[in-house]
Amino acid sequence: MSGASTFLRTKSVETSVQTDFVRKNEDARHRPHRVIVVGSGVAGLVTALTLKARCREARLPIELAVVTKSTIDESNSRYAQGGIAAAVMPGDTVESHIADTMAAGAGLSDAEAVAALCADGPARIRDLIAWGVGFDTEGAVPGAPFEAGLEGAHSAHRILHAGGDATGLSMESALVRAVRRVGIAVLSSTFLADLVVSAPVLADKVRSNVLSDGLSPQESSSAAVVGVEVIRGGVREVLTADAVVLATGGLGQLYPHTTNPVVATGDGAAAAWRAGALIADAEFVQFHPTALAAPGSFLISEAVRGDGAVLRNAAGERFMEGVHPLADLAPRDVVARAIAAEMARTGAPVLLDATSIGAEELARRFPTISEQMRRRALDWAHEPVPVAPAAHYWMGGVATDLDGRTSVPGLWAVGEVSCTGVHGANRLASNSLLESLVFAHRAAVALADELGSGVFSPTKSGMTAVFTDFVGENVSSPAREPSRAEVQELLWASAGVARSEAGLRAARTQLNGWAVQVAHDDASPEAVARLETANLLQLGRLVVESALAREESRGGHFRTDHPAPDPAFAHHLVQSRAHPEPRLLPTSIAAALRPAAPAAPAAPAVPAAPAVPAAPAVPAAPAVPAAPAAPAVSAAALSPSAPTPTPATTPAVPTVGPSPSGPTPTPTPAPAPASVPVGAIAAAPSTPTPTPAPEGAGHRERVTA
For residue range 268-318, list pLDDT tens digits in order: 999 999 999 999 999 999 999 999 998 777 899 888 999 999 999 999 999
C-alpha distance from residue 635 to each of 90, 122, 135 (Å): 7, 9, 11
C-alpha distance from residue 354 to each of 296, 301, 303, 363 (Å): 20, 12, 11, 12
223 near 274, Cβ under 8 Å? no
Q: What angle do CA 529, 525, 538 make, to 5 degrees?
A: 20
Q: Note the pLDDT of residue 524.
A: 95
545 near 582, Cβ under 8 Å? yes
Look up residue 120 and give its amino acid. D
470 near 527, Cβ under 8 Å? no
286-392 CATH fold: Flavocytochrome C3; Chain A, domain 1 (3.90.700)
- Say if residue 413's pLDDT is above 60: yes
The CATH number of 1-135+179-284+395-468+571-595+632-692 is: 3.50.50.60
Q: What is the mean pLDDT of residues 641-660?
A: 34
- Say if residue 459's pLDDT is above 60: no
Distance, CA of 377 to CA of 292 (rounded, Å): 13
Distance, CA of 534 to CA of 210 (rounded, Å): 24
280 near 126, Cβ under 8 Å? no
Residue 680: CA count within 13 A, CB half-sphere? 9
Q: Note the pLDDT of residue 222.
A: 55
Q: Note the pLDDT of residue 27.
A: 46
C-alpha distance from residue 153 to each of 88, 136, 199 (Å): 17, 22, 46
- Say if residue 188's pLDDT is above 50: yes
Helix (H) or strand (E) holding 37: strand 33-38
Q: What angle do CA 248, 251, 256 make, to 5 degrees?
A: 140
* Bridge partners (DSSP) listed for residue 351: 312, 386
Percentage, residues of the chain above pLDDT 70: 72
Q: What are phi and psi of 172, to 5 degrees?
A: -60, -45
395 near 427, Cβ under 8 Å? yes
Bigger pLDDT: 349 vs 203 = 349
Long-range contact set of residues 360-366: C-beta below 8 Å, sequence gap at least 24: 361/307, 364/164, 365/164, 365/165, 365/303, 365/307, 366/81, 366/164, 366/165, 366/301, 366/303, 366/304
Instruction: Identify which of 188, 160, 162 has the alpha carbon closest to the alpha carbon of residue 44.
Output: 188
Q: What is the mean pLDDT of residues 466-490?
A: 68
Task: Name the pLDDT band for 456 (thresholds 50, 70, 90).
Answer: low
- Say if residue 611's pLDDT is above 80: no
For residue range 79-114, list pLDDT tens digits in order: 666 799 999 999 999 999 999 999 999 999 999 999
Bin 445: left if φ > 0, else alpha if -120 < ψ < 50, else beta: alpha
Q: Taking the alpha carbons of 471, 475, 478, 481 in that order, is the dihedral positive or negative?
A: negative
Domain boundaries, the chain: 1-135+179-284+395-468+571-595+632-692, 286-392
Bigger pLDDT: 607 vs 167 = 167
Q: Do the strands 573-575 and 279-280 form a parallel or antiparallel pair, or are they unpaired?
A: antiparallel
Q: Note the pLDDT of residue 160.
A: 96
276 near 467, Cβ under 8 Å? no
Distance, CA of 161 to CA of 147 (rounded, Å): 8
Distance, CA of 553 to CA of 535 (rounded, Å): 27
Burial class from Cβ neighbours inside 10 Å (0-12, 13-18, 19+) for residue 285 reads buried
Burial class from Cβ neighbours inside 10 Å (0-12, 13-18, 19+) for residue 295 reads exposed
Instruction: Identify which of 421, 422, 427 has the alpha carbon closest to the alpha carbon of residue 331.
Output: 427
Q: What is the mean pLDDT of residues 578-582?
A: 94
Q: Is 124 a catalytic residue?
A: no
Q: What angle do CA 208, 471, 485 make, to 5 degrees?
A: 135
Bigger pLDDT: 224 vs 79 = 224
Distance, CA of 119 to CA of 106 (rounded, Å): 20
- Say if residue 193's pLDDT is above 50: yes
Residue 272: CA count within 13 A, CB half-sphere? 37
| Helix, strand and coil in the chain, % to nearest 5 | 30, 15, 50
Percentage, residues of the chain above pLDDT 90: 64
Catalytic residue among 34, 332, 427, 530: 332
Distance, CA of 370 to CA of 352 (rounded, Å): 14
Residues in the chain: 705
